[in-house]
Structure 1
Amino acid sequence: MHLTHLIIDDFFNDPIAIRNQALSMKYPPRPERAIYPGRNAEGSLPLPGVERLISQIVQEPLQPKTNLSHCVPRIAMSDDLAKTSVHIDICHWSAIVYLSLDEHCQGGTHFFRHKKTGWDMAPAFPGVAEAAGYENAGEALDSILAEDESDLSKWEKTMTIPMKFNRLVLFRGYMWHDAGKAFGTTPETGRLILPMFFGNTQTG
């Protein structure tokens, strides 16, 4: 059995308080090399016990990936553009909590299948890349992203998880996905999310 996606609604007990905390933070300009749409907050939100909770949900020993934007709120408005589209997250589990109010929500998180290889995830398991003619998983990933990440004609959308206020979307970081639609003209009406990234304490 291999769990790949999980959706939990009404995730936070007091989501308005979390949303207000996120909106009160400063959002400096996006770094030149960043690939995500919008802007990250200048720091992370303190969420004591969230790693333990997610570990219990997926029944795996997890720890935060502090080299990623773990628990750092992100705002993307309609005039924000990302440099890339389809991608993976270098972690064992990714999580997104949607903090946009329902009356503002648009789109959601999209998942894809790579048409050329037929893969709905990066070659995360031994032998998959080699069976498709690549030297190794790293070479496969580099090749696919270099050639196809921004060309949606090379991908088949397999699923959209719709945005909903206080919905947690939990998925394997190696699933091909994109951030969905940015919207709104102010932080209060824009795409506000809280991303989280976890590694497995036993496998990384």
Structure 2
Amino acid sequence: MTQRLPPLSLNRNARIEVRRIGEEQQPVFVVDEAFNGCEDLVEFAARSAFVPPTTGSYYPGLNAHLPANYLPTLLPALERPLTEIFDALPGRLGRSYGFFGLTNLSPGQMVVRQSLPHTDSANARSFASVHFLSASFGGTAFYRHKATGFEVVSNVRANAFKTVRTREIESLDGQPRETLSHLYEEIAHIEPVFNRLILYRATQLHAMRLENADALSIDPKYGRLTANTFLNT
């Protein structure tokens, strides 16, 4: 049986902020009270079937389909910040996809690829958004890789970054996870606020900053629930 779509709309009175982070001063677009009907979005998630992520994904939890009206509601509103803040070409919004994310792994259960800062793409024209649908389990942190000084890893830096990172991980094989995390410096943390949406370059080094891991739940109403979107321009 098909679920009834939640009555989503953008909040015209949303609070908008642009944060410039780190030495490279890359923007993070922050929107508070982003959607009207956000509680209905959580209810939709609670009735959805969450499953392990697809092969090749390192998401530390379960995923479910977003309602069919989520991306058509969100994406047109992102075109202006993409062009004015991130210098994307106007009218070039390309392939996009998204999913509900429900974190169910504690830091001790995560593999290295899940716990270390990472990028979502090496394509400089790719972007990601996180829509926080809970507020109790930590937000998104951004990082500088100490050995290279990189905060953004696009195609021109990808090989150099991979070479150094692989050498670092191999040299610290068997060491506590905390030793690996010391290879990075946190440059910003976006706090989790219910119905806060953030947009950033997919090439930006980032990671979930998980808090209250002992209270994680597989019930979307009580767990660390987000709506995650990835798009190209």
Counting matched residue pairs gives 182
CA deviations 1:64-114 (Å, max 9, x no partner) are 544xxx2210101354743322100115211000011x4xx1321011011
- Give distance in 1, aligned partners of 2:183 and 2:223: 29
CA deviations 1:92-140 (Å, max 9, x no partner) are 211000011x4xx13210110110111111145xxxx5xxxxxxx3412
Return the match for 1:157 from 186, 195, 198.
186
Q: Decide whether aligned partners of structure 1 residues 164 and 142 sit closer, same or farther in structure 2, where only a CA change above 3 A counts.
A: same
Q: Decide whether aligned partners of structure 1 residues 164 and 73 sit closer, same or farther in structure 2, where only a CA change above 3 A counts.
A: same
Return the match for 2:127 from 56, 77, 93.
93
Is 1:185 aligned to residue 227 of structure 2? no
- Give distance in 1, aligned partners of 2:226 and 2:210: 12
Aligned-residue Cα RMSD (Å) equals: 2.5
Of stretches 163-172 and 70-79 in structure 1, the one that deviates more from structure 2 is 70-79
Aligned residue number for residue 132 of structure 1? none
Aligned residues of 1:45 and 1:73 also touching (Cα < 8 A): no
Q: CA offset at residue 6 of structure 1?
A: 1.0
Return the match for 2:93 from 63, 69, 83.
63
Amino acid at match of 1:44: L
**Could you tell me the TM-score, scaled by structure 2's length?**
0.69
**Structure 2 unaligned runs (5+)?**
1-19, 170-176
Q: Decide whether aligned partners of structure 1 residues 117 and 138 sit closer, same or farther in structure 2, where only a CA change above 3 A counts.
A: closer
Is 1:49 aligned to residue 73 of structure 2? yes
Q: What's the % identity of the aligned pairs?
A: 21
**Could you tell me the TM-score, scaled by structure 1's length?**
0.78
Amino acid at match of 2:62: R
Of stretches 183-192 and 111-120 in structure 1, the one that deviates more from structure 2 is 183-192
Aligned residues of 1:97 and 1:194 also touching (Cα < 8 A): yes
Point out the structure with the larger strand share: 2
- Give distance in 1, aligned partners of 2:166 and 2:95: 25
- Give distance in 2, aligned partners of 1:106 and 1:56: 30
Point out the structure with the larger helix share: 2
With a CA cutoff of 8 Å and minimum separation of 6, indicate the structure with the bigger relative contact order.
Answer: 1
Amino acid at match of 1:107: G
Aligned residue number for residue 82 of structure 1? 110
Determine helix, strand or coil for the equivalent of 1:195: strand
- Give distance in 1, aligned partners of 2:74 and 2:168: 35
Determine helix, strand or coil for the equivalent of 1:72: strand
- Give distance in 1, aligned partners of 2:184 and 2:58: 18
Is 1:21 aligned to residue 44 of structure 2? yes
